[in-house]
Amino acid sequence: MATREKSGCPINLSLELLGDRWTLLIIRDMIFAGKRHFREFLQSDEGISSRTLAERLQTLQDEGILTRGDDPTHALKAIYRLTEAGIDLLPVLATLGAWGSKHRKAEDKLARIADELAAGGEPALERMKTALRTEHIG
Amino acid sequence: MATREKSGCPINLSLELLGDRWTLLIIRDMIFAGKRHFREFLQSDEGISSRTLAERLQTLQDEGILTRGDDPTHALKAIYRLTEAGIDLLPVLATLGAWGSKHRKAEDKLARIADELAAGGEPALERMKTALRTEHIG
DNA sequence: CTGGATCCCAATAGATACTG
DNA sequence: CAGTATCTATTGGGATCCAG
């Protein structure tokens, strides 16, 4: 991104990387839908364009939120995985989801997931983070 | 904003309103710096333009995140206040701040505040929300 | 003074088509 | 399959201006 930093406030630093319409949706797809491939991200309901997706994936890679590797089974497939910094975004997505579920009219099923995760507090978040880490062996 | 909704996912619904470079910084200034007036928001370190600020304040008002009133002491001053939905964004800002503090190099002093709030968990957030509510009487 | 509106221009993002 | 190229539409910053 290389935008010179506008302030040292931690919220601002987070927003300089994550504060746009798409970045957190990509992370959401990796965490909650288990998506790993370019095409899978393209097929999300919100309809990101391939250009924007490619740019965001590159930035997230540059900033250490995810890694890009080759799929061992399909030589043509790139595979994206979250780093520890990426997995640490789970609480951000959980609070954002809980807020959306409470204050915007969300889909019932998805809202329940968000509510349960947020209501489970720290332990629920930690359990899910552990699951995300071990998955990365595959 | 009136952008037609792209999906019913609670995270997406939140992001349709909050997913940009400035909106959450305005809320941050209201919650953590107690700002209430147009000029105060303009003077933040990050340097929002008056055009963008006016647009965001209007949208946040339309969406029920804040209210606009007249300052009883200065007839010329507008005063912005958070609604309950706005105050409920505190956990989002707290997790965002904690993430920035851990994964981007943030200013020490601000990072400590973010860390303490996040580490305090639910009780710390609730105490702060209560403080924000009572302040609104003034 | 204050909250904003206006204008200009640069950067961003979407659609579609195409390539290694 | 994972991206680029290109072209266009929209957004956003910066400065300035204005009405109450």
Check whether residue B70 has its CB closer than 7 Å to nucleic acid strand D: no
Q: Could you report the per-residue pLDDT of B82-99, keeping only the tens digit for each? A: 999 999 999 999 999 999
- The answer to the question of residue B91 being in a domain is yes
Asked, for residue A85, whether it belongs to a domain, the answer is: yes
Structure tokens belonging to residue A120: 């489970």
How sure is the predictor about B123, in pLDDT bands with cuts at 50, 70 and 90? very high
B85 in any annotated domain: yes
- Round and report the angstrom distance from CA (A56) to C1' (D3): 12
Q: Determine the pLDDT at residue B2.
A: 41
Distance from CA of B71 to the nearest CA of A (A): 28
> What chain B residue is nearest to A108 in terms of C-alpha separation?
B8
> For A24-79, what is each residue's pLDDT tens digit?
999 999 999 999 999 999 999 998 999 999 999 999 999 999 999 877 677 668 89
Taking residues A105-109, report their average pLDDT: 84
Return the pLDDT at B137. 47
Tokens representing B20 are 């940009």
Q: Tens digit of pLDDT for each residue in B40-86? A: 999 998 989 999 999 999 999 999 999 998 876 776 788 999 999 99
A114 touches chain B (CB under 8 A): yes
Q: What percent of chain B has pLDDT over 90?
A: 75
Total domain count, chain A: 1
Q: Which contiguous run of DSSP H or E holds residue B70?
A: strand B66-70
pLDDT over 50 (residue A138): no
Query: Nearest CA to CA, how far is A105 from chain B (Å)?
Result: 8
pLDDT of residue A19: 94
Q: Which residue range is the domain that position B19 belongs to?
A: 10-136
User: Does any domain span residue A113?
Assistant: yes
Confidence category of residue A105, pLDDT binned at 50, 70, 90 = confident
Task: Establish if B123 touches chain A: CB-CB under 8 angstroms.
Answer: no
Strands A78-82 vs B66-70: parallel, antiparallel or unpaired? unpaired
Q: How far is CA A84 from the centre of its chain?
A: 12
**0.85 surpassed by pTM:** yes
Contact A21, B20 (CB under 8 A): yes
Q: Is residue B5 part of a domain?
A: no
Nearest residue of A to residue B84 by CA position?
A103
B89 touches chain A (CB under 8 A): yes
Which residue out of A7, A12, A48 would a mutagenesis test of the B interface target, given it has the greatest number of B Cβ atoms within 10 Å?
A12
CB pairs under 8 A between A and B: 157
Q: Is residue A81 in a domain? A: yes
Assign residue B26 the CATH number of its domain: 1.10.10.10
For residue A136, what pLDDT is reported? 58
The answer to whether residue A18 scores a pLDDT higher than 90 is yes
Mean pLDDT, chain B, whole residue set: 89
Q: Is B11 on the interface with A (CB under 8 A)?
A: yes
Rounded to a whole number of angstroms, the distance from the CA of A76 to the nearest CA of chain B is 30
Q: How far apart are CA A94 and CA A88, in angstroms?
A: 11
Question: Does B81 fall in a domain?
Answer: yes
Percent of chain B with pLDDT over 70: 92
Residue tagged 């975004």 (tokens) = A89
Indicate whether A5 belongs to any domain: no
pLDDT higher than 60, residue B1: no
